[in-house]
Amino acid sequence: MLYVMWKNVGRLLASSTHGHGHTPSRVSLFRETLFAGPILGLMLFVVGLAVFIIYEVQVSAEGGRLQQALVIYYSFNIICLGLMTLVSLSGSVIYRFDRRAMDHHKNPTRTLDVALLMGAALGQYAISYYSIVAVVVGTPRDLLGALNLAHALLMIAQHTFQNVFIIESLHRGPPGAEPHDTTPKEPCHGLTFANLDALHTLPGCPPTPRLVGTNPVGPHEAVAIILAPRGHWRRRCLKDISLFLLLCNVILWIMPAFGARPHFSNTVEVDFYGYSLWAAIVNICLPFGIFYRMHAVSSLLEVYVLS
């Protein structure tokens, strides 16, 4: 946490990160959002806290109902990870229709953010991979094994699609940055096929008759006026997606950071690998997963500011 704070102290997201000319503005947390993402994220956050408390009480109590606690824990995580996967995928789809220019400038901070996200995700990838192997190869076929398998598969999918969404968001320009496209020359009327390389050698085309008003508007301004409402709705959707993913990552960071260890409560992996080997895998890889959630929150907050 100290490293992330030290790395981001004094950063100017608008000017230093992207190199565009707009001035940074004050950020309001729920400004220009549809409120669906924050509300759904807060609901999952509260439900996640309740599930975490129930899990800890039932696991630590003598004669507690361990299997019921694991079913509740895995069910919540499956729902949360499934929603996060769909939301991240929808955010990537929205970017397919975004007209903002891609930022290809060298940015050491952004490069480090991407490297940390990809590297920290490997820890959770490893835990999920070993869990999938233990469930598929292991002999027990019960409800808990099916939930464990679905949880591991969704964990891999969620990390992958969320990384794609965050990386694509960090490489987008600020709102209003249009791609720099050169306007092609207008071919002469009557030519079915035109060689654009040799078009400049042809005599000039007669000017197309245009209606000139008192206050003419160019084609780029007209397109901008038409597409402005669409771009506004896209920005609102992206802000909602960022806040929803941020809140979900917070609750998924709190659970393992404050002691939730279904990896040892569920005996499938322990019976398959042995306690010593499985404990070594979890103790090495789980800190990377916790750091990934923390760093994803920082990156998603930056995505929200830049959307």
Domain positions in the chain are 31-178+225-306
The whole-model pTM stands at 0.72
Residues above pLDDT 90, as percent of the chain: 37
Across the range 75-96, mean pLDDT stands at 92
The Cα 217–Cα 214 span in angstroms is: 10
pLDDT score for 170: 82
Q: What is the rounded average pLDDT for all residues in the chain?
A: 77
pLDDT score for 224: 44
Asked if the model's pLDDT at residue 212 lies above 50, the reply is: no
Split at pLDDT 50, 70, 90, the class of 20 is very low
Across the range 147-158, mean pLDDT stands at 95
